[in-house]
């Protein structure tokens, strides 16, 4: 049992490490040579240039202006200042709505914490249940005095907890309802944003693409026809079945091999640049070995070797590209069909086309950047088989992942190493190495697995056949959440591997589940408080420091960068990472709701996490992250569902807990809560979820009419014709024209249209001038 | 434990009672005065007239032709003879697909029974597990020797059962897949049937209506607008959002009060006819008392009294009708919108119309007869609340229904009666009455509840707010199935009320559930065999006798019938009753699949049930039932789902059973089966269910094009304008024109268009001449 002072120590350590990170960040970000690491978003948007030019030599690298260092936390209010509509323009709706998750955390937990501390804490504190319990050999900490554990069995005080459970549920549902409403209307507004004219350069490319997306439908599983090509087939089908609406279409090429070539060429070009730089610095022609990893083989001149290799590859790319374009077999049975009006596209995306519902599947086309090209041609039967395989695989991953890890851990133990590699024996006997192997290696093995978990889950989702990156990430997130729920939440409460829990659950009566969890919950409060501080506080503070991109940027800068464009390529802004971030937030929602009525002492720690994370991520979204795609907040129904799930878990746990406390007269009143919560979820699903799946005809028609009135002679076909080209295909076309432009290709096309309403922020970011008041508006 | 001879006795009793019913049926149906009871369908279609005219007096009532009596079971091959396409014309798709459920039963269980008897029965019979068990005080019957109980624990013979479980699963899934495919294509073919021209009088009215239904969409939850009437609002909305496609619409009137008046008038008219007939027979003017139930009050002349009352009501009806038509408040926020093409209607039915997905809800309009008018104006929020209430109510109904019944049973017991009504004491002491109260009354109370159960479930569905009778029946059926599963299947296996089971399940570890059921299953085989014979054989045979309609017809005929039309009204053909019939069939699927691998001796009894029921219902559908609506086999996904559910239950039960038999090496191989079965269900759902919910655009377009080519000048508006009038409203319009026509109104409008390809069958039904071979085609 941890005492209050233990927690105090842990808090001190974590707070100081968090402060340390912030301090390092505050200093590092002001250095001009780190500018591209901490403000890459502005560079990508073309609104900021290197501060290196036209300064004194020293100030090129180190900021000598002492005034800049005065406010360590200046970036925090700055991050909060940008108003929401501008933030949508600047970073897209996905990022803004992602921030709302943290905001919801604050909105839910601040009033709940207030209520819990004014009502429940006095009720618990003034009880004396633990004094009696201590006789029975149960040790308790000071934290437990604040928790429900301190209330006597059969006490009438439990009515307070039950009433509070009702209050918490209603408040959470109210916040969720209001936010679902708000996000749904934000999404519809975003989809309908009328900003398409090419002269209107204050428009971000994301909204740009979204405006067109309303006219595009992705068609999958086009049935093969021996007499017609896929392209003709698509044209005929839509000309017949959507007469007067069909505009044009783009077929999808199978360019996986081409993509491989282009990737290889890019890598070789990087090496070429590296050796050329080396030559410049050392004036000695570098040599390499051609064998595996450059370890053996014939010695050749590195620069010549790479130039010839690149030439060879370029030729292969040309051949392959011709082949892909001209071979009908490389056309996949999928196409992007565009329509003359939003109305027609909405109709096509929402209806069943053919008698066989597994052919001619239509859905909204994902944004071009969001398309996961490799999964487009998977047929329906294969999809259902894949789902089955992955469902089984995920079950084993969740419940049996400890088996291979335990195996590796035995291998990595002292005995294991001595058996597998007897020649290491003398080394192992050194005390330092021995203690390292015993103390750290097993933990590191587990940690490594957890680091790779998102990747494993992502591979599983990819195998399942989703056709957009956003849906891949959503799927991974829900799997990750389940994994966290079983292995972090239940795993720590019940102590034991997931499989042991599973088997103990199977061998327990169903009515014992909530009791088992309910008994353990209050005892684990102090553990979870520490967990929140380590995982929540310190790691959020580390997020803002961007240590990995910082190191990589400077390494690349040193070895590879020749031109301004290379420097841009060297930046690694990263993105939000919905599939890793959201499951973590959900864990805090779960902990917060579960402990709200049980141990309110947990709540302040969670509130600090949400507040800190909100500020940090707002800063990162404004200055750093470069989102890879825009899904229009399509993830919200998932977020909503998981918070509701956490609410239901919290109610069941409380029921179990009160059962062990023998509060027989009051516990039955809790049964109503989960039923009402499930009903609330169903209501919200029916009321708001269609906004994330469908597109109402009324909206589409309004937009169409408006557009026809304002721009009667719009040439849509020209724009839509090439909106969906396989990115690699685009790249490879480019490669032949100008080798130097390969790397910057993507960035350039983007920055051509990406401007925001803000003024250029040349050097140290200045606070935004407009609408300060509304920056926190919700 | 029942022995083979016990079952033999039960079989003899049930077979002879079934034979008795068939015998009575064979004689009664040949009597001319019963003709309208046993062949009402043909009368309703206008293809058969009374055999009373133009015969010798005696032969008007009794069939004296001895040859007719020769073949008792002639009606059976006759029933099988009508080919399926003709049957669809004759009785509609619903009836034909309903018959397929029985056929599926045969298709599944005949091969399974064959396999089970050739493989499992020898395996079980040659074992000697029960001989050892008898020492342990477990009595066993001969039936058990054929069952898995007879196999030793830990025996390798269980591999046989496991392999058979796989074979049964694959065969069942194969049959289900093929049938889903077939039914889906039948439905699409039925929906697309192009037979609309008015001169084409060989067409049944059902297909007629369906052809139009493809152009009609039901709109619900039209938002209120203070400035516009509902009618204008609908017109404007669809003119704007479906320009060029909208044709016309019909608003829905709130005519519930009018309906009440019309119903009352009909009843009074019936009494008037009764008294007039009495006057004719007795030549004495009948008198009645005006008070409650005619028991007290002023004595008046019955005929005069009824005539004045009817006059009064007629006036009220006129006033109310004017009010409904002219008062904008009596227009409900729902409308039937018709479109110029099937394509446009398909688009409207499948898409979301407005930004708020709970407003302007569109779906396919149910057939006019199928509309449940009272539920059309329920708003979305109210709907979700109603679902919640009914879900809770149904839970209590299923698990706690025994409590009120037990209460009534105690009231109806000897002690209860003596307490409640001491003055009955002397009566109760009579031995006969005493034994009646003790032996029968509790059973009758339970039976009465079970008779009213479908009505209760139907009321619950109505309260839930479904807008068509077919969906009400589907919902009731699935509730009834659940009730049966808990109270008949589990109830008899575990012996105890549902609530006791529930509580024992809650207090048991989850892995014990299959074991508990698995242990009990083989022991209950003989009970279920008896159940099948009583509930399946005898009551199916009683179905064909139509005892209740027979008695009621002759009573009505004696007291009420004056004209030919009255006689038609007196017929009570009834209909299939999906909500009562289907759950019963599903119980047999469940029993059959569960016992297939456990006690194959059950299978022949089930096969007899399916065979018998198929013949009987085919006969009833051809000659008797007059289906109330046509949903186009919309119930098939439910039927499919429940058979799959039965399959999964059977697999889990087998797993539990083998666990108790300690077949540890082989049992894990069964775990794959439920996973594969669930996957199979998901596959089928994705592949076929859309055919029952949506209407593919390709099909719609094909039909539209065909129609435009063949009939360019079709006036659809004229036909569609009055397709959806509240039936009572239609009646009440009629009432004023001609009082005599009230009763026959419905029938007349129907018989005007109802003709089939078959020749009129004037007297005793003749076998159908065409396509005998295909009558059993599947």
- For A671, the closest chain B residue by CA position comes to B392
pLDDT at position B198 over 50 = no
- Chain B interface, mutation test: which of A683, A684, A694, most B Cβ atoms within 10 Å? A683
- The residue to which tokens 């864990």 are assigned: A587
- DSSP code string of A561-613: --SHHHHHHH-------HHHHHHHHHHHHHHHHHHHTT-GGGHHHHHHHHHHH
Which of A222-226, B65-69, B369-373, B731-735 bottoms out in mean pLDDT, i.e. has the lowest? B731-735
Residue A571 has pLDDT above 70, yes or no: yes
CB contact under 8 A, A698 and B511: no
Q: Kindly state the average pLDDT of the residues B366-386.
A: 83
Quick check: B384 and A347 CB within 8 A? Answer: no
Asked whether residue A210 carries a pLDDT value surpassing 60, the answer given is: no
pLDDT at B692 over 70: yes
- pLDDT on residue A384: 87
Test A691 with B355 for CB contact under 8 angstroms. Answer: yes
Chain A residues with CB under 8 Å of B691 CB are: 355, 357
Chain B touched by A354 (CB under 8 Å): yes
pLDDT at residue A472 greater than cutoff 50? yes
Judge whether A386 is closer than 8 Å to chain B, CB to CB. Answer: no
Contact: A355, B698; criterion CB under 8 Å: yes
Note the pLDDT tens digit of each residue in A628-643: 788 888 899 999 999 9
* Span B279-300, average pLDDT: 73
Q: Phi and psi of A146, rounded to 5°?
A: -85, -10
- B775: pLDDT strictly greater than 50: no
User: Across-strand partners of B279?
Assistant: none
Q: Which of A384-398, A653-667, B489-503 has the highest mean pLDDT?
A: A384-398
Whole-angstrom distance, CA of residue B153 vs CA of residue B235: 74
- Whether A745 shows a pLDDT value over 50: the answer reads no
Q: Are A454 and A579 in contact (CB under 8 A)?
A: yes
Domain range annotation of chain A: 4-193+383-693, 202-366+732-778
B245–A contact, CB cutoff 8 A: no
- Buried-state track A372-397, b at ≥16 Cβ within 10 A, e below 16: bbebbbbebeebbebbbebeeebeeb
**How close B693 gets to chain A, by Cα (Å)?**
10
Give the 3-state secondary structure of residue B560: coil
Q: Any CB–CB contact under 8 A between B698 and chain A?
A: yes
The mean pLDDT of B297-307, rounded to a whole number, is 79
Residue B398, pLDDT > 80, answer yes
Position A776 scores a pLDDT of 34
Please tell me which of A295-304, A684-693, B274-283 the model is most confident about, judged by mean pLDDT.
Answer: A684-693
Contact A376, A332 (CB under 8 A): yes
- pLDDT reported for residue B200: 32
**Chain A residues touching residue B515 (CB < 8 angstroms):** none
Alpha-carbon dihedral sign for residues B225, B228, B229, B235: negative
Considering only the beta carbons, identify the residue of B351, B384, B688 that sits closest to A697.
Answer: B351
Checking if the pLDDT of B740 tops 70, the result is no
The answer to whether A294 and A288 are in contact (CB under 8 A) is yes
Highest mean pLDDT out of A150-164, A309-323, B606-620: B606-620
CB-based burial label for A80 (10 Å; 0-12, 13-18, 19+): middle
Residues of A in contact with B384 (CB under 8 A): 679, 682-683, 686
CA dihedral of residues B336, B338, B342, B343 (deg, nearest 10): -90
Other residues' Cβ atoms within 10 Å of the Cβ of residue B22: 20
Cross-chain residue pair B506–A507, CB shorter than 8 Å? no
pLDDT at B61: 60
Q: Which residues of A touch B509 (CB under 8 A)?
A: 506-510
Task: Report the pLDDT value the prediction gives residue A775, as an integer from 0 to 100.
Answer: 35
Chain B positions in Cβ-Cβ contact with residue A392 (cut-off 8 Å) = 675
pLDDT of res. B391:
92
Question: The tokens of A759 are what?
Answer: 């003024």
Q: How many CB pairs under 8 A join A and B?
A: 131
A21-35, A209-223, B628-642: least confident range? A209-223
Task: Give the SS3 label for residue A18.
Answer: helix
Q: Which residue of A has its CA nearest to B238?
A: A698
Chain A nearest-CA distance from B659, in A, is 14
Pairwise CA distance, residues B534 & B673, whole Å: 33
Residue B395 pLDDT greater than 60, yes or no: yes
- Tokens matching residue B556: 């009505």
- A710 has pLDDT over 70: yes
Contact B599, B526 (CB under 8 A): no
pLDDT over 60 at B140, yes or no: no
Q: What are phi and psi of A396, to 5 degrees?
A: -65, -40
Tell me if chain B has a CB within 8 Å of the CB of A396: no
Task: Tell me the pLDDT tens digit for each residue of B695-720.
Answer: 788 878 887 787 778 777 666 676 66
What is the per-residue pLDDT for B743? 31
Surface of A (309-338) touching B: CB under 8 A: none
Q: What is the pLDDT of residue B293?
A: 64
Among A243, A340, A347, pick the best mutation site for testing chain B contact (most B Cβ within 10 A). Answer: A347
User: What is the average per-residue pLDDT within A561-566?
Assistant: 68
CA distance A507 to chain B (A): 5
- What confidence category does residue B475 fall into, taking pLDDT thresholds of 50, 70 and 90? very high
What is the DSSP track for B54-121? TS-HHHHHS---GGGGT-TTTHHHHHHHS-HHHHHHHH-HHHHHHHHHHHHHHHHHHHHHHHIIIIIH
- Percent of chain B exceeding pLDDT 70 equals 78
pLDDT of residue B291: 66
Q: Reply yes or no on whether the pLDDT at A282 is more than 50.
A: yes
Nearest to B696 among A354, A380, A690 (CB): A354
Question: Inter-axis angle of helices A469-484 and A636-660, to 10 degrees?
Answer: 10
Instruction: Kindly state the percentage of chain A with pLDDT values over 90.
Output: 16
Distance CA B561, CA B36 (A): 13
Q: What percent of chain B has pLDDT over 90?
A: 16
When pLDDT is averaged across residues B538-558 and rounded to a whole number, the result is: 79
Task: Tell if the CB–CB gap between B355 and A188 is shorter than 8 Å.
Answer: yes
pLDDT of residue B97: 92
Q: Do A696 and B381 touch (CB under 8 A)?
A: no
Which of A177, A185, A355 has the highest number of chain B CBs within 10 A, making it the mutation to test binding with B? Answer: A355
- CB–CB of A258/A321 below 8 Å? yes
Average pLDDT (A744-768) is 38
The reported pTM is 0.82
Contact state of B351 with A242 under an 8 Å Cβ cutoff: no
Residue A694, classified by CB atoms within 10 Å of its CB into exposed (0-12), middle (13-18) or buried (19+), is middle
Whether B267 contacts chain A with CB within 8 A? no
pLDDT at B210: 55
Instruction: Give the model's pLDDT for residue A66.
Output: 64
Residue-wise pLDDT for A372-408, tens only, equals 888 887 888 888 899 999 999 999 888 887 777 777 7
Query: How far apart are alpha carbons A375 and B552 in whole angstroms?
Result: 66
Q: What is the average pLDDT across B597-612?
A: 90
Distance from CA of B678 to the nearest CA of A (A): 9
Q: Do A687 and B392 touch (CB under 8 A)?
A: no
Residue of A nearest to B678 (CA): A388
- Lowest mean pLDDT across B84-98, B171-185, B352-366, B754-768: B754-768
Q: How far is B688 from chain A (nearest CA, A)?
A: 7
Q: What is the mean pLDDT of chain A?
A: 77
User: What pLDDT digit, counting tens, does each position of B16-57 carry?
Assistant: 888 888 888 888 877 777 777 777 777 777 666 665 554 555
pLDDT at A736: 41
The token pair at A250 is: 């783009």
Give the full edge-to-edge strand order of the sheet including A246-253. A246-253, A331-339, A216-220, A361-364
Query: Is B344 within 8 Å of chain A by CB?
Result: no
Overall average pLDDT of the A565-579 stretch? 76
B393 touches chain A (CB under 8 A): no
pLDDT at A134 over 90: no
What proportion of chain A, given as a percentage, has pLDDT over 70? 79
- Is B352's CB within 8 Å of A381's CB? no
Average pLDDT over residues B635-645: 94
pLDDT, greater one: A183 or B748:
A183
Which DSSP state fits A118?
I
* pLDDT-based confidence at residue B68 (cuts at 50, 70, 90): low
Nearest CA among B608, B635, B621, B615 for reference residue B96: B621
- Indicate the pLDDT class of residue A499, thresholds 50, 70 and 90: low
Q: Exposed (0-12), middle (13-18) or buried (19+): which is B612, by Cβ within 10 Å? A: buried
Task: Give me the pLDDT at residue B771, please.
Answer: 38
Hey, which residues 574-633 in chain B have their CB within 8 Å of chain A?
A: none
Q: CB distance A352–B242 less than 8 Å?
A: no
- Looking at residue A41, its pLDDT comes to 77
Tens-digit pLDDT profile for residues A44-91: 776 676 655 545 555 556 666 666 666 667 777 777 888 888 888 788
Mean pLDDT of A101-124: 91
Sign of the alpha-carbon torsion through A765, A769, A772, A776: negative
Kindly report the nearest CA distance between residue B350 and chain A, in angstroms: 6
pLDDT for A433 beyond 80: no
pLDDT at B113: 93
Predicted pLDDT of residue B778: 32
Of the pLDDT bands very low, low, confident and very high (cuts 50, 70, 90), residue A751 is very low
């Amino acid at each position: 049992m941890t005492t209050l002072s233990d927690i105090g120590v842990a808090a001190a350590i974590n707070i100081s490490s968090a402060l340390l990170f912030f301090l390092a960040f505050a200093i590092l970000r002001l250095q001009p040579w780190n500018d591209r690491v901490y403000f890459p978003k502005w560079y990508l948007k073309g609104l900021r240039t290197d501060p290196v030019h036209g300064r004194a030599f020293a100030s090129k690298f180190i900021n000598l202006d002492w005034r800049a260092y005065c406010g360590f936390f200046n970036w925090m209010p700055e991050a909060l200042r940008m108003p929401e509509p501008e933030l949508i323009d600047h970073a897209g709706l996905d990022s803004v709505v992602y921030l709302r998750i943290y905001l919801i955390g604050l909105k839910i937990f601040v009033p709940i914490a207030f209520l819990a501390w004014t009502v429940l804490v006095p009720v618990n504190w003034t009880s004396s249940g633990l004094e009696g319990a201590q006789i029975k050999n149960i040790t308790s900490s000071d934290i437990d005095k604040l928790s429900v554990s301190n209330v006597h069995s059969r006490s009438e005080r439990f009515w307070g907890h039950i009433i509070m459970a009702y209050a918490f549920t209603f408040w959470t549902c109210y916040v969720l309802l209001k936010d679902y409403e708000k996000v749904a209307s934000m999404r519809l507004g975003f989809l309908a944003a009328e900003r398409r004219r090419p002269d209107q350069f204050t428009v971000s490319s994301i909204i740009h693409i979204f405006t067109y997306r309303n006219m595009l439908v992705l068609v999958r599983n086009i049935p093969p026809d021996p007499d017609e090509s896929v392209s003709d087939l698509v044209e005929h089908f839509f000309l017949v079945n959507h007469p007067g609406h069909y505009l044009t279409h783009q077929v999808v090429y199978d360019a996986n091999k081409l993509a491989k070539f282009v990737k290889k060429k890019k890598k070789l070009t990087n090496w070429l640049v590296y050796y050329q730089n080396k030559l410049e610095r050392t004036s000695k022609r570098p040599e390499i070995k051609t064998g595996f990893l450059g370890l053996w083989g014939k010695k050749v001149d590195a620069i010549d070797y790479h130039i010839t290799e690149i030439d060879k590859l370029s030729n292969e790319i040309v051949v392959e590209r011709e082949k892909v374009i001209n071979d009908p077999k490389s056309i996949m049975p999928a196409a992007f069909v565009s329509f003359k009006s939003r109305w027609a596209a909405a109709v096509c995306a929402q209806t069943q086309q053919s008698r066989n519902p597994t052919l001619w599947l239509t859905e909204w086309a994902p944004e071009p950047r969001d398309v996961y090209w490799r999964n487009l041609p998977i047929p329906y039967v294969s999809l259902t088989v894949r789902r089955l395989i992955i469902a089984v695989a995920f079950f084993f991953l969740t419940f049996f992942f400890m088996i291979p890890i335990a195996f590796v851990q035995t291998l990595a133990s002292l005995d294991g190493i001595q058996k597998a590699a007897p020649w290491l024996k003398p080394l192992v006997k050194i005390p330092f190495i021995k203690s390292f192997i015993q103390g750290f290696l097993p933990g590191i093995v587990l940690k490594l697995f957890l680091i790779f978990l998102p990747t494993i889950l992502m591979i599983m989702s990819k195998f399942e056949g989703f056709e957009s990156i956003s849906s891949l990430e959503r799927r991974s997130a829900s799997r990750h959440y389940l994994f966290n729920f079983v292995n972090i939440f239940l795993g720590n409460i019940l102590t034991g591997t997931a499989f042991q829990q599973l088997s103990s659950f199977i061998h327990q009566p169903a009515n014992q589940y909530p009791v088992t969890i309910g008994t353990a919950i209050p005892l684990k409060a102090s553990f979870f408080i520490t967990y929140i501080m380590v995982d929540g506080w310190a790691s959020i503070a580390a997020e803002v420091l961007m240590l990995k991109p910082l190191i990589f940027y400077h390494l690349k800068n040193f070895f590879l960068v020749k031109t301004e464009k290379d420097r841009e390529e060297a930046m690694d802004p990263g993105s939000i990472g919905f599939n890793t971030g959201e499951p973590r937030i959900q864990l805090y929602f779960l902990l917060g709701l579960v402990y709200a009525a049980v141990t309110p002492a947990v709540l302040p720690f969670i509130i600090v996490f949400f507040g800190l994370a909100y500020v940090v991520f707002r800063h990162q979204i404004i200055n750093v992250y470069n989102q890879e795609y825009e899904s229009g907040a399509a993830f919200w129904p998932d977020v909503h569902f998981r918070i509701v799930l956490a609410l239901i878990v919290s109610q069941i746990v409380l029921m179990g807990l009160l059962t062990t406390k023998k509060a027989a007269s009051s516990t039955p009143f809790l049964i109503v809560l989960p039923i009402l919560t499930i009903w609330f979820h169903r209501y919200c699903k029916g009321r708001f979820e269609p906004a994330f799946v469908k597109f109402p005809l009324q909206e589409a028609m309004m937009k169409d009419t408006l557009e026809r009135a304002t721009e009667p002679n719009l040439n849509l076909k020209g724009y839509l014709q090439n909106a969906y080209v396989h990115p690699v295909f685009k790249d490879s076309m480019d490669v032949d024209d100008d080798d130097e432009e390969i790397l910057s290709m993507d960035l350039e096309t983007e920055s051509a249209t990406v401007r925001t309403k803000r003024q250029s922020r040349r050097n140290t970011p200045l606070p935004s001038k407009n609408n300060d008041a509304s920056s926190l508006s919700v």
